[in-house]
Amino acid sequence: MEPIKRTIEDYDQIAEEYCKKTEEEGDREFHERMLDRTLNFLPSEPRVIDLGCGDGRDTEYMRKKGVDVVGIDLSGSMIDLARKKYPESAFIQADMRDTVFPDDSFHGAWASASLINIPKSEFSRVEKEVYRIVEPEGIFAFSFKEGDREGFEESVVEGHERYYSYYTLDEIEDELNLFDMVKSERCPKKIFGSDFIYCWARGKKR
Ligand SMILES: C[S@@+](CC[C@H](N)C(=O)[O-])C[C@H]1O[C@@H](n2cnc3c(N)ncnc32)[C@H](O)[C@@H]1O
C-alpha cells in the first residue's frame, strides 16, 4: 500500500491518543515562539494554511492571534478531533500534495511535523503545491526530524507504524527549489528521541 495512505489509515485509528502523547512530550513554549516568529514574517492580518494540522492546536493558536487560518489534514479522524476541540477554527480534510485552494490564497503555509510523513520522492510535489497556493514571495515554515533515513517505523503509540522521512539541514536546503531558506532553528529538546529543526523559507520571485 502507498506509504501516505497506510500512514493516514494509522493516524485515523490513533488520532486522539497520538495527539495527547505529543502534547505531553512537546516543548510548547519553544513551539509557540516558532509560531510567533512565523507570524512576524507575514503581513498584519495574514491568511495562513496549517498543513497536516492534526488536532488543530496550532490552527487555533493562530486564529486566536487574529490570523485568517485554515487547518487541513488528510486524516478524517484528525479533522473530526480538531473540529470537536476547536469549533471556532476552520478545518478541511485535504491532501497537502493537491489542495483545493486557488492560486495565491495565502500569505504563508505552516507545516509542523507533517512533512515528516511525506516520502522524500514526494517532497517536491508538496513544495510545488505550497508555492502555487501562497502569494509570490510568501512564507513556507515547517519543522522536520533531523537524520538521514526514511521508511516505516513504530513511533509514539506502541504497535502502530507510520512512514517517516528524516533530513539533514543541508539536504532540506537542496530539496528546496522554489523557496529560499531564510532561517532555521533546532528545537533544544528532543521530542520522542528525535531532533526537530524549524525552517522558514521565502518563495522565489515568479
Ligand atoms: C506528526 S502529525 C503533526 C500534527 C500537528 N501539525 C502537530 O504539530 O502536532 C502529522 C500530521 O500530518 C498529517 N498528514 C500526513 N500526510 C498528510 C498529507 N499528505 N496531507 C495532509 N495531511 C497529512 C497526518 O494526518 C497528521 O495529522
User: Model pTM?
Assistant: 0.98
Q: Of the residues 73, 77, 153, which should be mutated to test ligand 1's pocket, given the most ligand atoms within 8 Å of the CB?
A: 73
Q: What structural domains does the chain harbor?
A: 3-203 (3.40.50.150)
**Phi and psi for 192 in degrees, rounded to 5?**
50, 45
Distance CA(176)–CA(144), nearest Å, equals 13
165 lines ligand 1 (CB under 6 A): no
> What is the residue-averaged pLDDT of the chain?
96
Would you say residue 206 has pLDDT above 90? Answer: no
Q: Which three cell numbers stand for residue 22?
A: 505529543
CA distance 27 to 23: 8
Q: Give the distance (Å) from ligand 1 centre to CA of residue 54.
A: 5
Beta-strand (E) ranges in 31-78? Answer: 47-51, 68-73
Signed CA dihedral, 132, 133, 137, 141: sign only: negative
In the reported structure, the alpha carbon of residue 116 is separated from the centroid of ligand 1 by a whole-number distance in angstroms of: 8
Strands 150-154 and 134-146: unpaired
- Amino acid code (one letter) for 171: E
Q: Is 197 exposed, middle or buried (0-12, 13-18, 19+ CB in 10 A)?
A: middle
Grid cell locating 76:
478524517
Closest C-alpha to ligand 1, atom 14: 52
Rounded average pLDDT over 83-95: 98
- Predicted local distance difference test score (pLDDT) of residue 164: 97
> Cell 505550497 maps to which residue?
130
Q: What is the mean pLDDT of residues 178-194?
A: 95
Top mutation candidate among 74, 121, 123, 152 for ligand 1, by most atoms within 8 Å of CB: 74
Locate the ligand 1 atom nearest the alpha carbon of residue 118 and give its number.
Answer: 16
If you count DSSP H runs as helices and E runs as strands, how many of each does the chain have, helices first? 6, 9
Terminal CA-to-CA distance of the chain, rounded, Å? Answer: 37
pLDDT per residue over 30-88, tens digit each?
999 999 999 999 999 999 999 999 999 999 999 999 999 999 999 999 999 999 999 99
Best probe residue, ligand 1, of 114, 129, 143, 145 (max atoms within 8 Å of C-beta): 114
